[in-house]
Amino acid sequence: MPTPQITSITPASSFTHICNLLASLCLCVPTYPSGERQEVLISLSYLPSAERLTVVLLKARNLYSPPNKDTIDPFVKVYLVGGGKRLKKKKTSARKHTNNPVWNEAVSFSIPSGQLSTAAVEICVLDQSNDLMGTSALVGSCIVGPRETGTELSHWQDMTHNFRKSIAMWHVLT
């Protein structure tokens, strides 16, 4: 594959040129069939007396199917992240043949309250029905924590300011 060349860009052609350059580098942003965003609804709560973080995977909507399938068999892997590393992992059961699954499953992690300021939760939605050598294809993911931005940050802050209370929020999967 030839290496893309950087050329001078005029304002009128800059957007097209950048898109073409990104496409040639395989870094283009995917376009989705429905135009709707993939989202997951999760609830976070922290119980300080037990030093327990509970993540409830409620549901997801608008999950994208591969071109050759109408639906997927989604499940979620939830990682407790600390110091930039995945420390612990839990997963939900798969929901068969749906792009709008409802899980209503809780996973809990033991974490001292002093570590909440450096911890995060990574949510990965995967397709169990992927035929590629028995592996599960990543549908989308998000990270909720104190070093994030937008709703991922505000959700974490709401949870840390309201101990013992379940705080639910939608998050976009990328």
Domain ranges of the chain: 39-172
Q: What is the distance between the alpha carbons of residues 174 and 160, in angstroms, rounded to a whole number?
A: 25
Q: Which contacts of 1-6 are long-range, i.e. CB under 8 A and separated by 24 or more positions?
A: none
What is the pLDDT averaged over residues 83-108? 96
pLDDT at 130: 67
Question: Which tokens hold the place of 130?
Answer: 């992927």
Query: Which residue type is seen at 105?
Result: E
pLDDT at 154: 97
What is the pLDDT averaged over residues 112-124? 96
Whether 97 has a pLDDT exceeding 90, the answer reads yes
Encode pLDDT of 128-166 as tens digits: 986 656 678 999 999 999 999 999 999 999 999 999 999
Whether 85 has a pLDDT exceeding 60, the answer reads yes
Q: What is the distance between the alpha carbons of residues 25 and 1, in angstroms, rounded to a whole number?
A: 10
Encode pLDDT of 14-27 as tens digits: 444 444 444 434 33
CATH number of 39-172: 2.60.40.150
| Pair 74, 103: CB distance under 8 Å | no
Using a cut of 0.85, tell me whether the model's pTM lies above it.
Answer: no
Planar angle of CA 80, 31, 153, nearest 5 degrees: 30
pLDDT at 67: 84
Encode pLDDT of 44-67 as tens digits: 999 999 999 999 999 999 999 888
**Structure-token match 């709707």, residue found:** 36
CB atoms within 10 A of CB 117: 11
Q: What is the distance between the alpha carbons of residues 146 and 8, in angstroms, rounded to a whole number?
A: 40
What is the pLDDT averaged over residues 55-83? 94
